[in-house]
């Protein structure tokens, strides 16, 4: 009887782990699809300091934190709802509030 109960508990734990295991979430991508897609206004040209884009995405926080730029500079071209907060939510960073 004890073995049956232990087996049922073990199977139940395995079922719960499989059911609630974290799902893979796609990384936000510029001009991608889905709820985390990053949209940038195509009518605005990208400044030179945004190149290469991968470097800029990884290091823009350091530039803002150093004071080389302020958030209001970013908000001239970026809409936080479609181009900032998707990545910030993915990375677990505070949302940008205009």
Residue 96: alpha-carbon gap to chain centroid: 13
Range 31-53 average pLDDT: 82
Q: Are 92 and 76 in contact (CB under 8 A)?
A: no
Is the sign of the CA dihedral 54, 74, 40, 50 positive or negative? negative
Distances (CA, A) of 14 to 2, 7, 22, 30: 18, 11, 14, 38
Q: What is the DSSP letter of 38?
A: B
pLDDT of residue 6: 92
The H or E element containing residue 50 is none
> pLDDT: is 24 or 71 the higher one?
71
Q: Are 46 and 55 in contact (CB under 8 A)?
A: no
* pLDDT above 80 (res 81): yes
* pLDDT above 90 (res 43): no
Query: What percentage of residues in the chain have a pLDDT greater than 90?
Result: 15
């Amino acid at each position: 009887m004890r073995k049956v109960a232990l087996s049922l508990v073990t199977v139940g734990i395995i079922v719960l782990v499989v059911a609630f295991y974290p799902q893979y979430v796609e990384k936000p991508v510029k001009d991608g699809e889905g709820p985390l897609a990053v949209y940038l206004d195509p009518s605005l040209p990208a400044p030179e300091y945004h190149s290469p884009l991968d470097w800029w995405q990884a290091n823009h926080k350091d530039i803002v934190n150093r004071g080389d730029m302020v958030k209001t500079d970013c908000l001239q071209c970026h809409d936080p709802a479609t181009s900032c907060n998707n990545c910030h939510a993915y990375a677990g960073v505070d949302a940008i509030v205009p």
